[in-house]
Amino acid sequence: MTRLKDRVALVFGAGSVGPGWGNGKASAVAYARAGAKVVCVDINRTAADETAQIIAGEGGKAEALVCDVTKLTEVEDVVARTLKAFGPVDILHNNVGHAKMGGPPDLTVEEWHRELDLNVTGMFIACKVVIPSMMERKTGVITNISSSAGIRYVGYPYTSYYAAKGAVNQFTVGVALQYARDGLRCNAILPGLMDTPLIYQQISGVYGSPDEMVKARHEATPMGRMGTGWDIANAAVFLASDEASYINGVCLPVDGGFTAKCA
């Protein structure tokens, strides 16, 4: 496909935390299949390499880099290396996130700050570094991966995650409107109940077993099934494309109708 031909996509959180297809991994590969040159960034070198190798194996262009998105100097280095390898960033995809179970009495102050840093501050830092170049060129697309938890209680006891994803949504809106006249677009994707490797690490403990978790999450979705990383990837490619050139400041649920229901 040539939908995103020769555009440079910088994907933070492009690796997968386990076997299978996470949202970031699928999105990175989908960008490449649409013609983009992709920089696959993850805190885990092996995960970043795996995604880049999949892209290269399909004939695409990819670079794997390691970065802690909460560290300004590391993000600056990634953006500089992206510029050297492929050119200025056309698509910034912020996919890093984490869910820590527990309410205010259960979490330490340090854990609270860590959740906000992983889910929100990393996006702020990436935008801080990338936006100036986009403004100079009067073009650029930013896609932030939020969650249905940013607008609804989704049944899990993770107060810090609700707070962080709500912040991602309004951060997205603020960036979109502030830089709209500079040629930038910024949107958020809100995954619902997804079947990705992440849930087996961060959520399965709430249930009696992984099988019980999968069954309950399928049943909780109006369509009767969880989504996959490819559902998020397809939305991301669309939002980055010229077909979405008049879509800005949108927090798009990709959730099979989960957040549309009242109970």
Backbone angles phi, psi at 202, to 5 degrees: -105, -15
Cα-trace Rg, the chain: 17
Write down the catalytic residue from 161, 162, 200, 207: 161
Q: What is d(CA 44, CA 69) in angstroms, rounded to the nearest whole number?
A: 12
How many Cβ atoms sit within 10 Å of the Cβ of residue 169?
A: 17
Strand partners, 94: 12, 144
Query: 3-state class of 247 per DSSP?
Result: coil
Those residues with Cβ within 8 angstroms of residue 121's Cβ, 6 or more apart along the chain or in another chain: 70
Q: Are strands 184-191 and 251-254 parallel, antiparallel or unpaired?
A: parallel
Query: 3-state class of 220 per DSSP?
Result: helix
Please check whether residue 151 is in contact with residue 190, taking contact to mean a CB–CB distance below 8 angstroms.
yes
Query: 3-state class of 245 per DSSP?
Result: coil
Backbone angles phi, psi at 257, to 5 degrees: 95, 5
Angle among Cα 237, 242, 243 to the nearest 5 degrees reads: 80
Active site residue 161: yes
Q: What is d(CA 134, CA 94) in angstroms, rounded to the nearest whole number?
A: 16
Q: What is d(CA 42, CA 95) in angstroms, rounded to the nearest whole number?
A: 10
User: Active-site residues: which are they?
Assistant: 161
